[in-house]
Structure 1
Amino acid sequence: MPMKTTINHEKSSLHPNRVEMAIPVKPALNGAYVADYCENPTAEGNEGLVPLIPPQPHETNAARHTPPLRAPSAIAPASSKRFPVVLVSVIALLAIGAGAYYFFGSKHETTAAAPATPPPVQATVQTVAPQQVRIWNEFSGRLQAVDYAQIRPEVSGRITEVRFEDGQTVNAGDILFVIDPRPYEDAVAKAKARVASAKASIEFTKAEQKRAEILIRANAIAQRDFDQSASSDRVAVSNLDEAEAALKQASLDLEHAYVKAPISGRASRAEITVGNVVQSGPSAPVLTSIASRDGIYADFEVDEQTYLETIRNAASGNAQERLIPVQLILAGDKDHVYDGTIWSFDNRIDVASGTIRARAKFANTDAALLPGMFVTVKLASSRERSAVLIPERAIGSDQSKKFVYVVDSGNKATYREIQLGKSIREQRVIESGLLAGDRVVVDGVQHVRPGSLVQPTEITPAIVPVKITSVESAR
């Protein structure tokens, strides 16, 4: 509250025209008094404010009669007049600021506290439906020719001709090499001469035998002479047999001088060229080799569990095993698939590896499959089974876990962990985690989060063919 000021109209003895005012003083902390200044609006000659300080007990008389200081009249009156105006202005500004904060600041806080709902995520979904599928297992294998032959010389001599080009397709019976035939032609001629001589000897001995029979009946010769004649006839027959056998061997050697293809197929290069001498026998060099092209084998190892799953529902017997489908994929050419069947399983499980040797046979009509190629062999189960399949691109990875997003009836995405099975043509078998009728996000997975609102676009599930034809495999 403002303090009342009492005005004393007594005139001062020093200044007769000044009216002094009694102004209440404020006590200080140490018991002293501090005077307020007051302006006398009625007294003439009053030029400013006069501090009124009551005398203190400890002050001396000299100090008590010291005239009080006077504030400048040009400054004090202006400050006193402005103070109420400034105070009112400050209060008004504070009120305006408080009102602005109330109407604008509080509304901004409310807006920030309640952010706008994000729009739905565009995504394609697929409704899960079971399909009849055949499960395929992959193995590594090597190609082997159905027929393969290494050509070695069967007679010794100098090579005089090479009658094929490297890599040429040859037929069984085609002459590939010629070993100098002249020595063998001479041997044949000699053998023929011995045969002729043996035949002449037989004719003579048979005639002698007939005469000996006549003479022995007439007792004209001794029994010993008759026996000698009969023995000579038998020796002549044996000599003819020997001569004929020698002729056959000479003729065979002459035939072997012309090295022929034992099978049809593609010939390798000529390892021995014209002018080189070759020797027959166990250490004979390889002249060339031939691999058949009409069909080819794929040899691979199958683990025991897969073997049992493959043949469990198949009837025993090689004929039934050959009905099990197999696919072959070349390394670096996964778009081209060859179809074949199991040719045979071995008769035992290897105890060291726990696998069984298997062989599949494939047609090689385009001659693109070569022996020795490294291939991937896919072995199918003997029967079909019902399974849930989804596209590979719908599956996400969360460290070691696999998951999908399932869209519920309210079009909200839900995180669902799944267990994967085999892969079939860009589709993946789901062993657990999904049920028929679930809607799975296929495209747009990277934009979906658990609880996200989804604007779904339904797509039709891809039908995986149980039996894959050659036409489909080639695409």
Structure 2
Amino acid sequence: MLKMQKSFSLLLLALLAVVVFIFVLWRIDSNPRTDDAYAYADTIAISPEVNGRIISQPVRDNQRVHKGDLLFQIDPRPYQAALKQAQAKLEGLNQQIELTQRSVNAQKFSADSAHAAIASASAAAKQATATLRRLEPLLAQGFASAEEVDQARTAKLSAISKLDTLKLQARQAKAGVSGVEALVAQRAEVAALIEVAKLNLEFTEVRAPFDGRVASLKTTVGQFASAGKPVFTLIDTSHWYVIANFRETELKNIKEGTAAQVYLMSNTGVKFDGHVDSISYGITPEDGGNLASGLPDVRRTINWVHVSQRFPVKIRITNPDESLFRVGASAVATLNTRS
């Protein structure tokens, strides 16, 4: 009897162990958890868009700044001088265009006068030709003298000659009419240079594009800043994430929007809610092929056993505490795939 009780107890314990094992598997499958995680926020490199020496830097390393705050200022004097020079050149061009336009108007008036003189000379030539044609038949009949005919012939030749001369002068006057198109094109070019100069002058003040925190500031007033060369980093503190590396076997139940709860190793007593923002579709493998650089590099912890690869899951935090969150801080993430 005692032996049967022991066998029953062992069987009961075995069944209980199986139930506990199944429950643990279900729990792990429905609430995957990982401590291979870290806090993350978007960052940008603050770089000037113009060259120059820093004359003002009202921020310090690790300082919190707001959108629009002045981060540093580059000496604006060279760009102010360039703007004044371009504006003076534009003013000179405007005056030159005005004077040239007056000259063009005079040239056009001269050309128009030449055309009017041609019309008058053409009418005189026609009249002289008609007079000669009337007198030549009368000479044979004795109604006109030879002198009158000669005078009419001379008048015709003189009128034609004057007409030819006026036509030549008209062509010369027309050819001499210039324009202001080239100067107008130059004015457009100078106007564009003025806009560029204004933009460069505006770029001498570098302001925060969003609320954030200064990081890796290693320069001060007097340093020469080069366009496109980073001066420091700005962390976007308006959105915080936790990058959690889950095993590939756990990804089947993880989707965008899956509820998450995380805590930071710096303060394990404070829990933060969040949701899955995205799931990575590529990492750099340790033992195969050459893939494009820039993919996450997630190391396996056991090299002699084929273990599941881990893929980064990006979790967006809905209630971050900026005093606790730091880029790279260790975190623990638990997902609720049942939600």
Q: Which category describes the TM-score, using the shorter chain as reference length? A: 0.5 to 0.7
- Decide whether aligned partners of structure 1 residues 382 and 216 sit closer, same or farther in structure 2, where only a CA change above 3 A counts: farther
Cα distance, 1:381 vs. partner? Answer: 1.2
1:254 aligns with 2:201: yes
- 2:224 aligned partner: 277
State how far apart, in whole Å, the 2-side matches of 1:199 and 1:363 are: 59
- 1:145 aligned partner: 41
Higher RCO structure (Cα 8 Å, ≥6 apart): 2
Secondary structure at the counterpart of residue 143 of structure 1: strand
Figure out how many residues of one structure are paired with residues of the other and give that number: 239
- 1:341 aligned partner: 275
Asked if 2 retains the 8 angstrom alpha-carbon contact of 1:177 and 1:258, the reply is yes
Alignment of 1:22-421 (within 5 A): 135-139=30-34, 140-146=36-42, 148-217=43-112, 218-219=114-115, 220=170, 221-226=172-177, 229-230=178-179, 233-268=180-215, 270-281=217-228, 284=229, 286-311=230-255, 321-322=256-257, 324-347=258-281, 354-367=309-322, 368-383=324-339
Normalising by structure 2, report the TM-score: 0.61
Higher helix share: 2
Question: Can you list the C-alpha shifts for 1:268-311, whole angstroms capped at 9, x where unaligned?
Answer: 36421122223334xx2x32222122221222333332111224
Asked if 2 retains the 8 angstrom alpha-carbon contact of 1:153 and 1:259, the reply is yes
Larger Rg: 1
Cα distance, 1:225 vs. partner? Answer: 2.4
- Decide whether aligned partners of structure 1 residues 162 and 224 sit closer, same or farther in structure 2, where only a CA change above 3 A counts: same
State how far apart, in whole Å, the 2-side matches of 1:345 and 1:192 are: 54
State how far apart, in whole Å, the 2-side matches of 1:348 and 1:160 are: 45
- 1:61 aligned partner: none
Cα distance, 1:171 vs. partner? Answer: 1.8
State how far apart, in whole Å, the 2-side matches of 1:354 and 1:203 are: 76
- Decide whether aligned partners of structure 1 residues 373 and 215 sit closer, same or farther in structure 2, where only a CA change above 3 A counts: farther
State how far apart, in whole Å, the 1-side matches of 2:283 and 2:222 are: 51
- Opposite residue 253 of structure 2, the aligned amino acid is E
- Opposite residue 194 of structure 2, the aligned amino acid is L
Identify the range of structure 1 (199-208 vs 175-184) with the bigger mean alpha-carbon deviation: 199-208
Normalising by structure 1, report the TM-score: 0.45
Asked if 2 retains the 8 angstrom alpha-carbon contact of 1:177 and 1:259, the reply is yes
- 1:93 aligned partner: none
Secondary structure at the counterpart of residue 295 of structure 1: coil
Secondary structure at the counterpart of residue 340 of structure 1: strand
- Decide whether aligned partners of structure 1 residues 332 and 278 sit closer, same or farther in structure 2, where only a CA change above 3 A counts: closer
- 1:410 aligned partner: none
Cα distance, 1:350 vs. partner? Answer: 6.7
Identify the range of structure 1 (355-364 vs 192-201) with the bigger mean alpha-carbon deviation: 355-364
State how far apart, in whole Å, the 1-side matches of 2:281 and 2:216 are: 37
Asked if 1 retains the 8 angstrom alpha-carbon contact of 2:107 and 2:173, the reply is no
Higher strand share: 1
Secondary structure at the counterpart of residue 219 of structure 2: coil
Question: Can you list the C-alpha shifts for 1:389-431, whole angstroms capped at 9, x where unaligned?
Answer: xxxxxxxxxxxxxxxxxxxxxxxxxxxxxxxxxxxxxxxxxxx
- Decide whether aligned partners of structure 1 residues 237 and 357 sit closer, same or farther in structure 2, where only a CA change above 3 A counts: farther
Percent identity, please.
26
Secondary structure at the counterpart of residue 153 of structure 1: coil
Asked if 1 retains the 8 angstrom alpha-carbon contact of 2:276 and 2:315, the reply is yes
